[in-house]
Structure 1
Amino acid sequence: MTNDKTYRQTIEELETILRALETDTVDVDDLTARVQRSAELIRLCKQKLRNAEAAIDRVFDTLDEEDETEPTDDNDLA
């Protein structure tokens, strides 16, 4: 499974597979391959979402740390 696709590209491929499954008569071998590919794409999406969540958490943690170290004296704001 490659990780070079963007989240949007991955979702678009999943949607393409879903449309094909909804409209086409798919033989069992092809169905199996499409379901396996869908599972790979779903795993990739979940990984990308977890990575994004972790990155966002780090940003907020950094902001919280900056708030804790900033002076609280109102005279410093003037």
Structure 2
Amino acid sequence: MDTEYTYEGAFQELQSIVADIESGQINVDDLTAKIQRAASLIAVCRAKLTSSEAEVEKLLIKLHQADEGEPKQVDEEE
């Protein structure tokens, strides 16, 4: 794709395409192009979600490692 999309931008355009298709007002000649565009946008959304998931995993691992390095507080019973 020639343009960098945000997840939100790609998702909004995808929703618009779906609404157009569901309306039944698209001619057959335009339908193929709309479906191809939708497939590209789905790929963008999937890639962004996968990337975000990987970043969250890295952050969780770092947090877990940081927690293991700190001394644990023990609640003393009276």
Normalised TM-score (structure 1): 0.82
**How far is the alpha carbon of 1:24 from its aligned partner?**
4.1
Say what the alpha-carbon RMSD is for the aligned residues.
1.7
Instruction: Give the unaligned 5+ runs of structure 1.
Output: none
- Aligned partner of residue 4 in structure 1, secondary structure: coil
Q: Which residue of 2 aligns with 1:23?
A: 23
Instruction: Give the unaligned 5+ runs of structure 2.
Output: none
AA matched with 1:53: E
Q: Which residue of 2 aligns with 1:71?
A: 71
Q: Which residue of 2 aligns with 1:60?
A: 60
**How far is the alpha carbon of 1:72 from its aligned partner?**
3.2
Percent of aligned positions that are identical: 38
Structure whose residues are more often helix by fraction: 1
- 2:34 is the counterpart of 1:37: no
For these two proteins, the number of residue pairs brought into alignment is 74
